[in-house]
Structure 1
């Protein structure tokens, strides 16, 4: 990391700041924004390892605030469903290529995003069984393509809760996914001294970005929050769809 050109280090700082600002505002999106940008100057595995380390660090920084406002009755079944179904997604990779898996995820995202854009909201809080089912879908996505977030983002945005509670719920959930992902990366020896050093160097940019996003959230209307969140989800949908098509056609 210390041997990288100054321009590359500046780009890493920008990518981490941008991802942190998006997460600070919406409660999600750090990995969505930071990983592809970091991959422009770092090896993909190194970028992912740094994002996992940084995601855990910022999640722990915000843990107290997330616990205060999060909807625990939704987080618990989501997490249980995700943990239970992730091995099934991994096994399904034997039957479905990564490109086809991403295409399936993109199609699900298109439907979910269209439903949210139409203004759909749950009239009352879903029970534990539907939440666990969404968590299981998240786990399948995690096993198939290391993407546990999209179903949970769409689900949380449809909950009949104040946006501060929705944001905190996603922060708490993604702290859990970062923890599981980092444990897997450590077991696979994808995290070494270089990645830890890189995360340490980049953390101030992440912290400033997250605080900037949080400040913007405190001054934003519910309509603005939902608009930015839907734009981020739409951007994720387009990226996943484009990558799957490139892989399939290539």
Structure 2
């Protein structure tokens, strides 16, 4: 335990990372997406990408008691479970990429993925076809690879769900539940590949409180009548995160 505490407190930029975690939870609470899109570009300014991915995955425990209980009542269980299963099967490949790729290169890849996702969201690009089981499995598989490699489990599934044929509430619930459970399922796979370090565990545990507080506040602020405002606010915060997180040094 002492080693865990020392390893965590030795992390550079611990306070800024915790503030970023709160902001990520806030956006996740009111928009239903965007936590990793904000967290990963900024957190990796101070900590190694592998530590950031594992820490954020552990922080997702907070979602189980903040946003998931309400979302679970509106989720489509069959399609969501199919996507989670597909993502779980492909995540080891993404984690291998995370483990074997240069951290600076990963930061550039992360920033590029976030920027492309933001562009897709702002321009209105969506998956327009009526999704079948194969399409859902493919989206889940792609999400597992991207999420394992960069911590960005959201981009593929966000664009997929936002263009879905269901209600906005159901799509939001599907996204929330999928992202939360995938993050949790990444933990044993990260541990198996040796990336669940003492620093990552300590960071994830420290992030639980600010992440939960952000989620709670964001959920309390959420008003379906102002959904467009929330989306625009999320886009702005994501854009700021991309710009501030660019590895230009």
TM over 0.5: yes
- Could you tell me how far 1:23 is from its partner in structure 2? 1.0
- Could you tell me how far 1:32 is from its partner in structure 2? 2.5
- Could you tell me how far 1:221 is from its partner in structure 2? 1.7
The aligned counterpart of 2:140 is 135
Measured in 2, the distance between the counterparts of 1:97 and 1:194 equals 19
The aligned counterpart of 2:28 is 23
1:205 aligns to 2:210 (yes or no): yes
- Whether the 8 Å CA contact 2:57–2:186 is kept in 1: the answer is yes
Measured in 2, the distance between the counterparts of 1:75 and 1:10 equals 35
Larger relative contact order (CA 8 Å, sep ≥ 6)? 2
- The alignment covers a number of residue pairs equal to 240
Match of 2:180 among 145, 169, 175: 175
Question: Runs of 5+ in structure 1 lacking a partner?
Answer: none
Measured in 2, the distance between the counterparts of 1:50 and 1:83 equals 18
Q: CA RMSD in A?
A: 4.1
- Could you tell me how far 1:41 is from its partner in structure 2? 3.7
Classify 1:231/1:44 alpha carbon distance in 2 versus 1 (closer, same or farther; 3 Å).
same
1:51 aligns to 2:66 (yes or no): no
Measured in 2, the distance between the counterparts of 1:235 and 1:142 equals 21
- Whether the 8 Å CA contact 2:120–2:159 is kept in 1: the answer is no
Question: Runs of 5+ in structure 2 lacking a partner?
Answer: none
- Could you tell me how far 1:169 is from its partner in structure 2? 1.1
Question: Which structure: larger Rg?
Answer: 1
- Whether the 8 Å CA contact 1:30–1:55 is kept in 2: the answer is no
1:163 aligns to 2:168 (yes or no): yes
SS at match of 2:229: helix
The aligned counterpart of 2:229 is 224
SS at match of 2:73: helix
What TM-score results when the alignment is normalised by the length of structure 2? Answer: 0.72
Instruction: Please give the per-residue CA displacement for 1:111-144, whole angstroms capped at 9, x wherever unaligned.
Output: x766654546677852222222222332343466
Classify 1:75/1:232 alpha carbon distance in 2 versus 1 (closer, same or farther; 3 Å).
farther
Match of 1:153 among 151, 155, 158: 158
The aligned counterpart of 1:66 is 71
SS at match of 1:68: coil
Classify 1:229/1:220 alpha carbon distance in 2 versus 1 (closer, same or farther; 3 Å).
farther
- Whether the 8 Å CA contact 1:59–1:171 is kept in 2: the answer is no
- Could you tell me how far 1:44 is from its partner in structure 2? 3.8
